[in-house]
Amino acid sequence: MNIPKITAKNVLFFIIFTALVLIGSQINFSRVTGAENQYFTLFQFFGPIAGGFLGSIIGVASVLFAEILNFFYVGNPLTLLGAARLLPMLFAAYYFASKSKRFSTVIPLVCMAAFIIHPIGRQVWYYSLFWLVPIAAKFFPERLFLRSLGSTFTAHAIGSAIWIWLIPMPAVAWIALIPVTFVERTLFAAGISISFVVFNTVLDKLEAVVPTDFITIEKQYVLSKEFLKARILSRF
């Protein structure tokens, strides 16, 4: 795995992304079921895209740094649950950057196994079928929405596999979460897709002024007439 060269522009993007994470993490979207004062935030709508621009290693590192900084900025106590909540977005960013089908298969399957061997998880084993989404989505890498959906469900798989072991929740609560999870993750995937297009478009414009060779810009997702035509006629 090639590690990109660290440059001043690289660091600048890192700082900008970190600032956005700090802002986005303060804007609550929905409450996390089963725990007090735990929320999904605006961060869920763009967090994984760092992997798409900076590659798997630096992308994951940027997400981890931003999450840790936000963790202490907010003043959260250092607990096992708090530390565990840092993990889902790291895997989501890696998924978004990686082209590996092996990774996309192994991680969700491990999460399914960890969920199902729990006594409550065994009763609601079908909840873990959500995590087949990242596996299926990897077979359509050219479809941004599916890539985004796979990324957010990878985060969901990691988070849920941890959650069921750390937070007591009855089976009925997991069942009630099924439609909520579907809606939330669909919205997160839409947000990730839109954020990625916006960032690609902005960086493409900046490239004419400031070379961005350290960043991977996916030209097919730069907003243009061609982009809109392609999305309407074929796929997103």
Banded model confidence at residue 186, pLDDT cuts 50, 70, 90? very high
Q: Is the pLDDT of residue 20 over 90?
A: no
Full residue range of the structural domain in which residue 139 is found: 8-233
- How many structural domains compose the chain? 1
Domain for residue 105, yes or no?
yes
Q: Report, as an integer, the average pLDDT of 83-88.
A: 82
The percent of residues above 70 in pLDDT, for the chain, comes to 75
pTM to 2 decimal places: 0.84
Query: Whose CA is closest to 85, among 173, 175, 166?
Result: 166
Domain for residue 34, yes or no?
yes
What burial letters (b/e) apply to 155-165, b meaning 16+ CB within 10 Å? bbbbbbbbbbe
Q: Report, as an integer, the average pLDDT of 74-79.
A: 66
pLDDT at res. 160: 94
- Work out the end-to-end distance of the chain between its first and last CA atoms, rounded to an integer number of angstroms: 29
Domain for residue 183, yes or no?
yes
Banded model confidence at residue 158, pLDDT cuts 50, 70, 90? very high
Domain for residue 88, yes or no?
yes
Q: Note whether 34 and 75 are within 8 A (CB).
A: no
